[in-house]
Structure 1
Amino acid sequence: MAPNDSAHSTEAPEGLAAGRRKASRYLVPLVVAGVAAGTIGLVPALADSGDPDLPEITAQELIEKIAASDTEQLSGTMKITTDLGLPALDGLAGSLAGAGGGEGSSADPQARLTELASGTHTLRIAADGPDRQKISLVRDSDEYSLIHNGDEVWGYDSASNEVFHAEEDGKGGSGHDGAAEKRADDLPTTPKDFADEVLKASKGTTSITVGGTAKVAGRDAYKLVVKPEQKGSTVGSVTIAVDARTGTPLKFTLTPSSGGKAVVDAGFTTVDFSRPAASTFDFTPPKGAKVTEADESADEQRHAGEEFEKGLADFAGPQVIGEGWTSVAKIEAPGGADAGAAQKGDAPAEAQQFLDALGDKVTGKFGQGTVFSTRLVNALMTEDGTVYVGAVTKDALVKAANEDK
């Protein structure tokens, strides 16, 4: 039986009232769909093995099902395919680890996880509540693992036999001020509240429907389909396969408005909702491994941060033009247009020619500029150094820059 794709109001099932903290946690799966217009997420392509016959469900009821999910333990294998039209970044991790003047570590997660921004990758994951998670990026003959166990975080690169270690101080701001409490009061506290907020926020900009059923990792799932209703977005649709029994998202697919294969196609190939063994999250550095403590370069990082802050002293942050899926961020050069033009003028001619060759020349009320494109995110750099960026088409980007003048 095909699911009902309408989104009408329903009463919250008895006993679904939850604490605000839990409701906040369950905002994540749906926020991913909304933020996907400007970011790159996880996971990949698994073939559906036949559409299961499931009871009818509305879009609102499916959103409520996600919100009511209490899944905290699972393990499995995922595949992640990301195709922005950029070259593979597999070899970039080592370069990033050593950037900034320090020796760095190939086990530093900030460097290693950039690999997921392009190509196809296999991940093994395990989770046991908020205090224990493990992600392993599997390659042909080696792997990279990131382990969170209590107040410790370990990163291990088997190829280089390097270890990265960090400890949490347990002082994460709990936010007991009045403003924080007010924000907590504004959070939805039941699955129905959550669904109402999502549907209200999407009104006029987004279509949310149930697009049938699927088999993902051997499990029956509903497909929640999110589509922009605004013209000019590079996002065609976001589809989230939701486990019919647990309400857990199993697969995420983002397709571009230009057509072709997905920009991001991510999903479980196998999944088990039982509690992983406690030993899964144990880690001891192997003999002979080079261990880098997160605070070893604290002074160097602090100095670099101070210098960076000085450079941004005149930077007011991005201004958002428009709303919804067609919003564009405007980033001005520190010091204004004159500084931006000067910076551009200081660039070597060869470097400027190289950059110009990567983009398309455009003109408008803003003057002249160059548009740099991927399959999802486009950026316009004008001759005065101002940058406009968003998950919008080139025409929409130029229009936003013109309207800003």
Structure 2
Amino acid sequence: MAAQRKASRYVVPVAVAGVAAATIGLVPALAASGDPDLPEITAQQLVEKIAASDTQTLSGTFRISTDLGLPAFDGLLGGLAGSGEGGEGTADPAAQLTKLVSGTHTLKIAADGPERQKLTLLDGKEQYSLVHDGDEVWAYDSRSNRVFHEKGVEDGGEAPRKEIPADPKALADEVLKAAGDTTSITVGGTAKVAGRDAYRLVVEPKQQGSTVESITIAVDAATGTPLKFTLASTSGGKPVVDAGFTKVDFGRPAASEFDFTVPKGAEVTEGDQVEKDHGKAPEDLEKAFGDFGLGDLGGAGAAGKNGPEVIGEGWTAIAAFDSGAPAPKTEEAPKEAQGFLDSLGDEVSGKFGTGTVFKTKIVNALMTDDGKVYVGAVTPQALVDAANAAK
């Protein structure tokens, strides 16, 4: 169990930001030659092509731009939790990879199957590297000259995969069946991504009230590997996520790509020590937000013994639960969080009483003054309507 927890904390970020992020793609290269002329393909065939893709090796450069409609997290997280290492920075992936939730970042990746991945985050002259090689994870932050090391990391298991149809057509059938009456899945033409020909798979809600306008995935015409991912919000403006390869090579990276040597003078922190000390930053955050009524949101404590109630279905589903605490007041929050929360919250009222809607471009949450919480990728009005209907 301990090894699985390690895998979820450190290998999963590598897999998601490296292999998984690589296979969903991240900000496209500009195409000088225009959209390619490819054979016609149906949505069913394109989903099958994705399912049949077996990309195990790749290397490349990609950019990810994220705009959740939120203020910058850096000052908030730094003010509440610090670095846990004297305020001088940390190489812990749990802290470093939160940078990807806002702004624009350039990354280099390499993958050689599920056992070896490398991700390098480039921010100006500074670099942050994360390497997974077998049962070890190494991470290095050049800004602070600190190294993080975790040994004994194991794969979390194959159980979830056993329920997924192995046959690409069967998997495509399941995807399209699950879409049902709430989702439209179509082929939206072609694109050029990192110099490669690709089809565009467009996923759109059919329901009214969702904050998601569309999800577009550019799929490599030759390999079926997704190369670009764009999530657009009904609020307009820049995409919530616009990410794709600027350069990609599906050959096997050199074995030396995954070698790691501790830089001279760098301070090394072992994962076991982080586990022991891990309570400090989370406890600070828990105190800051927990006392404010925001701790454990979505956890078992907040949702209650029976978990949240799901109202509606598909893209307009709303999770509702009783937090067991009065709604938070901004003036009661730690000063580091007040500006952040003010920028998110709007006071609302209805048959349910009064409360505050905490909003982003995708996920919104209504917290009523009597402690009820309604969360979903829906408009604030949909949350108010759900709260009114519950009275």
Q: Does 2:366 align with 1:383? A: no
Aligned residue number for residue 65 of structure 1: 49
Q: CA deviation at 1:401?
A: 1.8
Q: From the superposition, tell whether residues 344 and 84 of structure 1 become closer, same or farther in structure 2 (CA, over 3 Å).
A: closer
Distance 1:222 1:170 in 2: 36
Q: 316, 322, 325: which is aligned to 2:312?
A: 322
Q: CA deviation at 1:56?
A: 0.7
Distance 1:356 1:92 in 2: 13
Q: Secondary structure at the match of 1:230?
A: coil
Aligned AA for 2:268?
A: V
Distance 1:204 1:232 in 2: 15
Please say if residues 28 and 193 of structure 2, whose CA atoms lie closer than 8 Å, have aligned partners that are also in contact.
Answer: no
Aligned residue number for residue 36 of structure 1: none
Q: From the superposition, tell whether residues 174 and 271 of structure 1 become closer, same or farther in structure 2 (CA, over 3 Å).
A: closer
Q: CA deviation at 1:43?
A: 2.9
Q: CA deviation at 1:139?
A: 1.5
Distance 2:266 2:137 in 1: 16
Q: From the superposition, tell whether residues 293 and 101 of structure 1 become closer, same or farther in structure 2 (CA, over 3 Å).
A: closer
Q: Secondary structure at the match of 2:272?
A: coil
Q: Secondary structure at the match of 2:49?
A: helix
Aligned AA for 2:26?
A: V
Aligned residue number for residue 209 of structure 2: 232
Q: CA deviation at 1:332?
A: 2.3
Q: Deviations over 1:295-337 (max 9, x none)?
A: 014334479999989987854243322211111222422xx3x
Q: 207, 212, 219: which is aligned to 2:189?
A: 212
- Alignment TM-score, normalising by the size of structure 2: 0.81
Aligned residue number for residue 108 of structure 1: 92
- Identify unmatched segments of 5+ residues in structure 1: 1-27, 34-40
Aligned AA for 2:314?
A: G
The Cα RMSD (Å) is 3.3
- Identify unmatched segments of 5+ residues in structure 2: 1-15
Q: 146, 150, 175: which is aligned to 2:134?
A: 150
Q: Does 2:378 align with 1:401? A: no
Count of aligned positions: 355
Q: Deviations over 1:122-173 (max 9, x none)?
A: 0101100000001111011111011101110111101111011111354845
Q: Does 2:179 align with 1:202? A: yes
After alignment, is 287-296 or 101-110 more displaced?
Answer: 101-110
Q: Does 2:26 align with 1:43? A: yes
Distance 1:357 1:64 in 2: 43
Q: CA deviation at 1:44?
A: 2.2
Distance 1:205 1:376 in 2: 17
Q: CA deviation at 1:259?
A: 2.2
Q: From the superposition, tell whether residues 349 and 70 of structure 1 become closer, same or farther in structure 2 (CA, over 3 Å).
A: closer
Q: CA deviation at 1:267?
A: 0.1
Please say if residues 105 and 292 of structure 1, whose CA atoms lie closer than 8 Å, have aligned partners that are also in contact.
Answer: no
Structure 2 counterparts to residues 93-104 of structure 1, below 5 A: 98=82
Please say if residues 187 and 201 of structure 2, whose CA atoms lie closer than 8 Å, have aligned partners that are also in contact.
Answer: yes
Please say if residues 45 and 81 of structure 1, whose CA atoms lie closer than 8 Å, have aligned partners that are also in contact.
Answer: no
Aligned AA for 2:39?
A: P
Distance 1:392 1:110 in 2: 28
Aligned AA for 2:192?
A: K
Q: Does 2:201 align with 1:259? A: no
Q: Does 2:88 align with 1:88? A: no
Q: From the superposition, tell whether residues 112 and 299 of structure 1 become closer, same or farther in structure 2 (CA, over 3 Å).
A: closer
Distance 2:358 2:283 in 1: 30
Q: 348, 354, 376: which is aligned to 1:368?
A: 354
Aligned AA for 2:367?
A: M
Q: CA deviation at 1:403?
A: 2.4
Aligned residue number for residue 269 of structure 1: 246
Q: CA deviation at 1:90?
A: 5.0
Aligned AA for 2:133?
A: N
Aligned residue number for residue 164 of structure 1: 148
Q: Does 2:167 align with 1:190? A: yes
Distance 1:165 1:349 in 2: 35
Distance 2:155 2:198 in 1: 39
Please say if residues 330 and 342 of structure 2, whose CA atoms lie closer than 8 Å, have aligned partners that are also in contact.
Answer: no
Q: 252, 262, 268: which is aligned to 1:285?
A: 262
Q: Secondary structure at the match of 1:392?
A: coil
Q: From the superposition, tell whether residues 304 and 136 of structure 1 become closer, same or farther in structure 2 (CA, over 3 Å).
A: closer
Q: Secondary structure at the match of 1:361?
A: strand
After alignment, is 277-286 or 304-313 more displaced?
Answer: 304-313
Aligned AA for 1:320?
A: V
Q: CA deviation at 1:93?
A: 6.7
Q: Deviations over 1:80-119 (max 9, x none)?
A: 1111122234556756774679979611111111111111
After alignment, is 314-323 or 347-356 more displaced?
Answer: 347-356
Distance 1:353 1:112 in 2: 23
After alignment, is 353-362 or 104-113 more displaced?
Answer: 353-362
Q: CA deviation at 1:394?
A: 1.2
After alignment, is 192-201 or 43-52 more displaced?
Answer: 43-52
Q: Secondary structure at the match of 1:295?
A: helix
Aligned AA for 1:152?
A: E
- Alignment TM-score, normalising by the size of structure 1: 0.78
